[in-house]
Amino acid sequence: MTTYSIPDMSCGHCKATIEKTVHGLDPAATLTFDMPARTVQVQSGTDDARLQQALAAEGYPATPV
């Protein structure tokens, strides 16, 4: 499980886009959001670099914390 900081994540629409993006790469992935902290924990078989690239392409640059 990796925790990502996503500073641009601020609302339900952001959350939905992030979920759709991650599940597009790995439908079995699990995500746990902390909206006030603007972080998300992702448990996925997809490697971190690929997840980060996909999230950045959707406008949500993510950095592991």
**What CATH code is carried by the domain that includes residue 35?**
3.30.70.100
Distance, C-alpha 51 to centroid of its chain: 7
List the beta bridge partners of residue 30.
43
In this predicted structure, what is the pLDDT of residue 25? 97
pTM of the predicted model as reported, rounded to 2 decimal places: 0.93
Overall domain count for the chain: 1
Q: What is the pLDDT of residues 1-52, one digit of tens each?
A: 999 999 999 999 999 999 999 999 999 999 999 999 999 999 999 999 999 9
Domain extent at residue 38: 2-64
**Residue 18's CB: how many other CB atoms inside 10 A?**
24
